[in-house]
Chain A
Amino acid sequence: MIGRQNHPKDDPAFFAVLFEQYKNLVYKTAFLMLGEVDEAEEALQEVFVLVYRSVDAYDPQKGALTTWLHRITVNYCLGQRRKRQLDWLPMDEEELAENIPYNESDFGALAEREAMIQAIGRLGERLQVVVILRYYWDLPYAEIAQILEIPLGTVKSRINLAIRSLRKILTGPIETSGPILLQGSPVHEEVRLCHS
């Protein structure tokens, strides 16, 4: 917990520990959201500078430190995606194969993973974020709601939609190359799902 006695600006060693402990949280979230190592490296720097500048704004009574760090990271990455119009995981099949570890005898597993990654890439940005926070970081819905500053019901709605959409993409016929679900209103997205 950050207190005045170990305020990063007064205690550089504490900030070093903070960085060491949470650099992967920031880096990997950024990589998953921005899709490129270079972007993740830049995000790591930018996010921790933001942390340094705004550490006075952190209130332990309002949530865990990791929640606060996730929020800063997600907001930064969303901003970058919109500003630069980044595609999620622009890697082609070869790059995916290089980057995903697999047993050489299990090409099926590799293909499945590649297909899943492509499928995630077809989700809207808001669904991708909840997928990352829930199925990569294993965060409870309530914490995701705190990170994204949205109602718990909205988190549930998006996760439900994301998993069902992924299932549909992977098991149904591929009819379009673009995103299956556009970034419409959550209500609109729910209606589409119910009627599909």
Chain B
Amino acid sequence: MSFMRCKEVEKAQVFYLDKEVAPGERRLIEQHLAGCPDCRHTLAGLAATRKSTAQALQGLTAKIEPKPQAWDLLQSRLAKEARPMPAKNTVWNARPAPRACRTPTYIFQGDYKMRTRIIIPTLVAVIMMAVIGIFLTRNATSVSAQQILERAYQAKTAAVAAQGINHIRTETYLNLQAMGWKSGVEKTIQDSYVDLSNGIYRLVWTNAATGQVLDASAYDGSYLYTHRPSQEGEVSGPFILYRTPQSIDKVANLMAGTGSVDPENTFETIRQDPGVKQVTKETWADGRAVYVLRAQSPEGADQKYQVKNFSGDTIMVFDAETYDLIENSVVMHQDGKEVVLTSYRKLIDETLPTVTPVAWDLSDVQGITLLDDPTGEYSDLLPEVITPQELATHTQTGYLLKNVPAGFALEISAPPRQEQELYYTYIASYRSLENDYFVVQSGKAPEKLANLGEDTYQTASGLTLYFLPTQEQGSKAKDVTQAVVSAPNGTQFIISSTLLREQVEELAEDLVLVK
């Protein structure tokens, strides 16, 4: 008959008390304890310690529980997790060539999470026009409204064509309560400076009420400055700005293709929309005469503003003298009253002399903690110019034209540090002196290819082009042809061009996989 010694029992006592011994071992331990007062004494001490431990821990948590708002907070976080990446939509909304927008805004696919930073001089115009343009759809526009828009376009074109430093300050208001948000900053000020000659920029976003800096970014030609909040959307805690070296020699030309393309595109979109109607001419308190144009609410406003059965209007305000678009708002009809849901107002839009001193490195902004980030781990590095050979090393699904068309120049740009990404993102832009372009960019169709329609073209190499409806830009800008291209190996990419359809098809014959 086996038995256990004191040393063996001692080692097993805690497990015995925790009922974590096999039945056979349990019997042996109990047999030993029956005849050993010392071990019984030790066991009692350990049992008391176990009991005290459990009681102490239970007591410690007896009075605490998660706060009632925990679920609401989590819901807000998860709602942001579920929100589609904005970049997935920009393929179809943005103008095709980044240079056409004079912006480092980048077009992505897959799950690449990169915040796009729109820094073009017509930043306000893009925001305002995007809000307007998406839902203007209906009846014949009155002649006077058309004229106003024509003149506004001309004013914007003249402003953008100037050199110097473009400075824009806007005020944004969001009626969070009406949209069902429980907290957040309602009124913000956005202040941007862009050097039109080279694209260096600074952008600071503050709480209009308190002046607290909410977001900031900049590029001074040597360093990129990026802010990362500790949690997405959280505005408490130190404001950290990461500084990463990025030479302007490597960065894709931020200001290439400047001119009247961008404002023309945005204004043309509005000009063509028949839903605009002239409402009134007013004089503001500051003596400024303005035209106020009103249009019916956009489609999809319910979802966009999180308001069920949305009914309201969009209101655009133009300076009567300069025809500059100075304000855009969305109002909601509620209980017989008009409630402002969102509004963007331009406070300043000026072009300063190039020699104007500007703190491109944000050193004048209060309350910022600057941290060096030499490897760019926390920064949204600007796209850099790469060669076709470099493109081939980064991806096995990149396509370029076999030959650069006569009269065109090629620039390929891609965000650096894409090693961890599922898909490699790039834009290959062939541009002529006359500002025609043919762009090849990574991307996928937003829906199944079969749903894109039957307007297709197949090249000799087996590429199938699915043409999308031509984006008509009006009399002052070139129409843009876009197509999703599907390769035999399953790769998809996008081409867009100001060239005629026949020219696009001809060039498509020259598309090859880079190796």
A116 / chain B contacts, CB cutoff of 8 Å: 52-53, 55-56
Contact A140 B70 (CB under 8 A): no
Contact A99 B73 (CB under 8 A): no
CB interface residues, B 20-61, toward A, < 8 Å: 20, 45-46, 49-50, 52-61
Nearest chain B CB to A98 CB, angstrom units: 9
Contact B57 A135 (CB under 8 A): yes
Question: In the bound complex, how far is the Cα of B74 from the Cα of A101, in angstroms?
Answer: 30
Say yes or no: A32-B61 contact (C-beta < 8 A), given A45-B77, A49-B77, A171-B45.
Answer: yes
Contact B49 A160 (CB under 8 A): no
B78 and chain A: residue at smallest CB distance: A52
**Is B335 interfacial (CB 8 A cutoff)?**
no
Nearest chain B CB to A13 CB, angstrom units: 12
- Partner of B18 from the list A44, A159, A166 (CB cut-off 8 Å) is A159
B308 / chain A contacts, CB cutoff of 8 Å: none
Contact B81 A41 (CB under 8 A): no
**Is B460 interfacial (CB 8 A cutoff)?**
no
A interface SS class:
helix
Of the 9-residue stretches A19-27, A58-66, A76-84, A175-183, which lies at the interface with chain B?
A19-27
**Is A28 interfacial (CB 8 A cutoff)?**
yes
- Mark contacts of A108-131 with chain B using CB atoms, 8 A cut-off: 1 yes-contact digit, 0 otherwise: 000011001100100000000001
A167 / chain B contacts, CB cutoff of 8 Å: 45-46, 49
Number of interface residues of A (CB under 8 A): 47
- Partner of B56 from the list A45, A117, A141 (CB cut-off 8 Å) is A117
**Is B66 interfacial (CB 8 A cutoff)?**
yes
**Is B14 interfacial (CB 8 A cutoff)?**
yes
Contact B74 A48 (CB under 8 A): yes
Question: In the bound complex, how far is the Cα of B15 from the Cα of A138, in angstroms?
Answer: 13
A132 and chain B: residue at smallest CB distance: B57
Contact A163 B57 (CB under 8 A): no
Give chain A's interface residues, CB within 8 Å of chain B: 9, 15-16, 19-20, 23-24, 27-28, 31-32, 37, 40-41, 44-45, 48-49, 52-53, 89, 99-102, 112-113, 116-117, 120, 131-132, 134-136, 138, 140-141, 156, 159-160, 163-164, 166-167, 170-171
Residue contacts A-B, CB under 8 angstroms, 23 given: A9-B82, A20-B71, A24-B66, A32-B60, A41-B70, A44-B66, A44-B74, A45-B73, A48-B74, A53-B81, A99-B63, A100-B56, A100-B60, A113-B52, A113-B59, A136-B61, A138-B54, A156-B15, A160-B15, A164-B46, A166-B53, A167-B49, A171-B45
A117-B60, A141-B15 known; 5 new pairs, CB 8 Å cut-off, are: A15-B78, A19-B71, A167-B49, A170-B49, A170-B52
